[in-house]
Amino acid sequence: MRDKGEYLFTSESVSEGHPDKVADRISDTVLDTFLAADPYARVACETLVTTNRIVLAGEVRGPDTITAEELMHNARMAVRDIGYDQSGFSWKTADIACHLHAQSADIAVGVDAAGNKDEGAGDQGIMFGYACTETPELMPAPLYYAHLVLRRVSEMRRNHDKLVEGLLPDAKSQVTLRYVDGKPVGATSVVVSTQHVEGMEQAEIKRLLWPIVESSLPKGWMPPEKEFYVNPTGTFVIGGPDGDCGLTGRKIIVDTYGGAAPHGGGAFSGKDPTKVDRSAAYAARYLAKNVVAAGLAEKCTIQVSYAIGVSHPLSVYFDLHGTGRDIDEEKLAAVVQELMDLRPRGIREHLHMNRPIYVPTSAYGHFGRVPDEEKGTFTWERTDLVPALKQAFGRR
């Protein structure tokens, strides 16, 4: 985003009941099932969901004790937890097929450590990390507030709050903010589309959502009523996988920075941490967040690249968007690589990623979340490198 002038910028979010997010949740459930049994299991699980049908496919390498029946049961429990028990998609009656098979030996030989060969990257590709000072979580504001609106509605629905009675799991939001000289100053429009039971009036839904959205935005940021759009098509009864097919990995912009930063193209959910699409993107966010948290810049974008079977990154690139406070970006790239080993094994060990911690990432973004030391989740959101970064650049 630009740092000068006045402009509008928009990001969207989707709830855990959106069809693509249902697929992401199931794929990460499969991943966590394997990692709970073997921290070094290999998983690349893709999920398709449609009317009363769930299909699991992909490649795995893990304990034989994990059966297709267990994976299908866990997938069913994931759907139950989301809240789907509708005629067109129900955790009780959905047909589930499991087509997971053994990981390719050609991939395994490139990734596995052997003899003097270090563990290699699970694929080639480019990954990006980003952080900025727009929110306390150091995330782009439009995406942060789009996530927050839906998370609050979801929490109220799960807690059986009467204020949202009649609302169902599938939902989307979109927040447009006005920027002046690179700083967000208010919302010009908000869109919320939410699945609901038959018979609810759209005016009623708009009335109950208004205070939730208003309280999610900073004071004074709520747009005029005419710019608050709720279920613009007029009704949203048929939703979830019954209304639209869902696939793993189709919400990568929702998962990352809402379009405010580049994306390398690789999805996250269902992939174990030897896949740099996931682990290196997490590492890049971790480094970018620490750079901004240390006060070295107001914005930071990092790109890293890998080749399949090769351990060291091929490149590490920093862009501080002109906000670096007398920081040499080449020196910064060298310093962060001294502070963190960016080989796949180094990333996994530094961020403690070989654990069943991925289900919580499958909705409302992989970044900008609160680390939970007890559960070990979102370790890439820690800012524990700040002291070392400040010292390296003579900052207090």
Please report where in the chains the tokens 């439009």 appear, as a residue. Answer: 142
The β-bridge relationship of strands 89-90 and 85-86 is antiparallel
- Known binder of ligand: residue 53? no
Residue 207 annotated in ligand binding? no
Is 364 in contact with 139 (CB distance < 8 Å)? no
> What would you report as the CA-atom Rg of the chain, rounded to the nearest whole angstrom?
22
**Residue 329 annotated as part of some ligand binding site:** no
SS3 79: helix
Reference 46, options 108, 98, 106; nearest CA is 98
Asked whether residue 338 is marked as a ligand-binding residue, the answer is no
Q: Annotated binding residue at 46?
A: yes
| Structure tokens that stand for 209 in this block | 């959502």
Query: Would you say 384 is a known binding-site residue?
Result: no
20 marked ligand binding residue: yes
Q: In one letter, which amino acid is 263?
A: H
Q: Of 70, 45, 59, whose CA–CA distance to 101 is shortest?
A: 59
What is the β-pairing status of strands 228-230 and 183-196? parallel
271 in a labelled binding site: yes
Cα(192)–Cα(173) distance, integer angstroms:
4
319 is in an annotated binding site: no
* Residue 103, annotated as binding a ligand: yes
Q: Which residues contact 150 (CB under 8 A, 6 or more apart)?
A: 13, 14, 15, 171, 172, 173, 192, 364
Looking at residue 325, the DSSP 8-state letter turns out to be S
Tell me if 374 is assigned to a ligand binding site.
no
Which secondary-structure segment (H or E) carries 108?
A: helix 105-111
Q: Which of 119, 111, 101 is nearest to 44 (CA)?
A: 101
267 is in an annotated binding site: yes
* Residue 238: count of CB within 10 angstroms of its CB: 16
Is 38 labelled as part of a ligand binding site? no
- Whether 263 has a binding-site annotation, put simply, is no
106: left (phi over 0), alpha (psi -120 to 50) or beta: alpha
Annotated binding-site ranges: 18, 20, 46, 59, 103, 170-172, 244, 250-251, 267, 271, 275
Annotated binding-site ranges for K(+): 46
Annotated binding-site ranges for Mg(2+): 20
Annotated binding-site ranges for ATP: 18, 170-172, 244, 250-251, 267, 271
Annotated binding-site ranges for L-methionine: 59, 103, 244, 275
